[in-house]
Amino acid sequence: MSDQRETSSNFGQSIQATRFETPAPPGSKPEVVDRFAKPQAPWWHSQFNLMICVFVLLAVAALLFTRLTPPPELTVGAPDAQPSAAATAPATQAAPWDESRRAQARSDAQDILSALLASKERLERAGVKAWAPAKFEQALAKAEQGDEQYKLQDYQQALASYQAAADGLDALFSDIPKLVEREIGKANDAIIAGKSALATASFKRALELDQDNLSALEGLAREEKLDEVLGLNQAALAAQQQHLQDDSLQHLHRAQELLEQAIAIDPAYQKSKDLLAKVNTLITDKQFRSAMTEGFSALFAGRYSAANGGFADALNVRPDDAMAKIAYSQSLAANKTSSLQSLLNRAARLEQSEQWQGALANYESVLQRDANMVAARLGQIRSRARAELDRQLRELLADPLALSKSGQAKQARAVLADAKAIRDRGPLLQSQIDQLENGMQLATAEVKVRLISDQKTQVSLRKAGASRIDLGRFSSRNLALQPGRYVLTGIRLGYQDQRIEIELLPSSSVQSFSVRCDTPVSNSLAVGKS
């Protein structure tokens, strides 16, 4: 590993732009200067110098043979042909096509090398040595191999090595999104767990890998407020615990308020949402239980309207709760039964006090709600008959003078018979019966009447509903009449007529009335003209 790190450190520094030079042909002889020759005699006079020259010439010839021999893949010839002397001899000059390929490979190698250096720096900034050191060193080793091949002017192989190194670095780049996602996931888990320092470290590692990652930037901003959110959540949990101790709805509302503040600070913090959902459920449960308790308490106490209200509130909290629906239905039924029974009881009391019209109204109210209630139906029949009898009795007693008429007397006798047919008569009915009987007796009794006139006035008497009776002229006259309403009429020629309406009430004393026409017609006309 230490060798690889040393190699990676040398990568990018060992390769410089190299000028491509064509070596001299093998047959050419380089000019060699003998530094050891004496200036006085020619150098070839020395045997030692001759040996050195021969050695140098052999070395140069071997080097030129190695450099100028073409690669095997570029050798052109028949597969089975024997190599000729010309083929095995080194070329005196590189072919133009081969030289063009070498130049292009050299240019491509330099281009990809520049991209490799940029990728290497980017990965080092992303901390690749911490999360993929082996793969990174392996890619750099390929690049170093390309450097060596480039130095030897083997540009094709150098290009292949550089490409392999680029592929290795690109593979590392492809791993970065997964690493970023993993770090953000770890950070989010740390936030949920309330571990602020761990979340910060993970978000920062994600930003080292991808400095523009929006999720990491937002997460880091969220983490800065995490302590405040955790404090609000802790206070909400404390309020919730107080509710469990004293079952007070006030503590739950306080917890709800704190959690709403926490969510306003960090809407993405799921734990605050979960706690708020739990608190809302507790509030709903508390409201439901309170409403149901109130409803049952009122129901057992016979306060049916309050019971209906309590169960209705419970259904507002939980519209689909089966128990609340059943309780509400029972409360309505009990309220209906109670209300109907209350109406029946009231109707019975009105019957006892002989207020038949009021009793009839209550029985009819019951039948409007429950047409099949037998007690209400019987009460309606009974009250209707008694109310009608009471009405007739009241009408007859309201005008006792009408009892003297034959039609009224007949009706009075029929009503009186119906009233006497009732066995359980109350004091009011008995009083009405007594009054009617007395009125009928008085209506048939004679009333003494004394009429006074002037013997000049023609007097007539007519009872309401009967024919007129002429009484003639007289000064006084005694009559025996039945109680009732009468009209006395006086007529005299030249005088104004006189008309008197009288009511004869049953009485033992004599009742007197004066009928006389004593106002001349001329005087009345004069008075009218004036």
233 with 191, same domain: the answer is no
Question: What pLDDT score was predicted for residue 381?
Answer: 93
Asked whether residue 268 is assigned to any structural domain, the reply reads: yes
The share of the chain scoring above pLDDT 90, in percent, equals 14
- Judgement on whether residues 202 and 242 belong to the same structural domain of the protein: no
* Residue 104 sits in the same domain as residue 151: yes
Query: Across-strand partners of 477?
Result: 451
Q: How far apart are CA 237 and CA 73, in angstroms?
A: 80
Whether 191 and 125 map to the same domain: the answer is yes
Amino acid 73: pLDDT? 35
**Looking at residue 465, which CATH number applies to its domain?**
2.60.40.1120
If one counts the domains in the chain, the total is: 4
Are 104 and 218 within one domain?
A: yes
Cα distance between the two ends of the chain: 154
Residue 433 included in any domain: no
Q: Angle formed by the axes of helices 270-300 and 249-265, to 10°?
A: 160
* C-alpha of 249 from chain center: 22
Is a pLDDT exceeding 70 seen at residue 113? yes
Residue 45 pLDDT more than 60?
no
pLDDT tens digits, 263-280:
888 887 788 888 999 999
User: Could you tell me if residue 236 is inside a domain?
Assistant: yes
Q: What is the residue range of 61's domain?
A: 32-65
Quote helix, strand, coil % in the chain, to nearest 5.
65, 10, 25
Cα distances from 475 to residues 454, 457, 471, in angstroms, run 5, 9, 11
Token couple for 4: 């690889």
Q: How many residues does the chain have?
A: 530
477's CB contacts (< 8 A; 6+ apart) are 450, 451, 453, 471
Q: Which of 165, 198, 224 is the last residue of a domain?
A: 224
Residue 64 corresponds to which amino acid?
A: L
Do 103 and 219 reside in the same domain of the chain? yes
Whether residue 259 is found in the same domain as residue 292: yes
- Is 495 a residue whose pLDDT tops 90? yes
Highest-scoring range by mean pLDDT, 300-304, 366-370, 429-433? 429-433
Q: Which of 237-241, 284-288, 503-507 has the lowest mean pLDDT?
A: 503-507
pLDDT score at 488: 94
Q: Please report whether residue 365 resides in a domain.
A: no
CA gap 181, 179 in Å, rounded: 5
CATH number reported for the structural domain that contains residue 326 in this entry? 1.25.40
Which of 94-98, 242-246, 363-367, 477-481 shows the lowest mean pLDDT across its residues?
Answer: 94-98
Asked whether residue 194 falls in the same domain as residue 301, the answer is: no
Q: Is it the case that residue 95 has pLDDT exceeding 70?
A: no
Question: What span, in angstroms and rounded, lies between the C-alpha atoms of 45 and 53?
Answer: 13
Residue that wins the pLDDT comparison between 212 and 323: 323
Higher pLDDT, 466 or 275: 275
The answer, yes or no, to whether residue 196 has pLDDT greater than 80, is no
pTM recorded for the entire structure: 0.39
Gap between the Cα atoms of 327 and 295, Å rounded: 8
Mean pLDDT throughout 205-225? Answer: 68
- Claim to verify: residue 118 and residue 212 sit in the same structural domain: yes
Q: Domain ends where: 194, 224, 254? A: 224
Closest alpha carbon to 117 in 16, 261, 31, 21: 16
E strand spans, 285-432: none
Nearest to 172 by CA among 123, 207, 209: 123
The share of the chain scoring above pLDDT 70, in percent, equals: 73
pLDDT at residue 410 in the model:
86
Mean pLDDT of the region 142-171: 82
- Answer yes or no: is 453 within a domain: yes
Give the best-scoring range by mean pLDDT among 7-11, 196-200, 427-431.
Answer: 427-431
Structural domain ending residue among the three candidates 182, 201, 224: 224
In this predicted structure, the answer to whether residue 87 has a pLDDT above a threshold of 70 is no
Judge if 117 and 211 occupy the same domain. Answer: yes
pLDDT computed for residue 136 by the predictor: 80
Chain-centre distance for alpha carbon 256: 17
pLDDT of residue 6: 40
pLDDT, tens digit (0-9, with 9 covering 90-100), for 162-192 = 888 888 888 777 777 877 777 777 777 777 6
Residue 485 lies in a domain: yes
Q: Using 50, 70 and 90 to split pLDDT, how confident is the model at 63?
A: low
Assigned domain for 210 exists: yes
Contacts of 424 (CB under 8 A, 6+ apart): none
pLDDT for the residue 5: 41
Mean local confidence (pLDDT), 275-302: 88
113 with 181, same domain: the answer is yes
Is residue 522 domain-resident? yes
Residues 291 and 182 in one domain: no
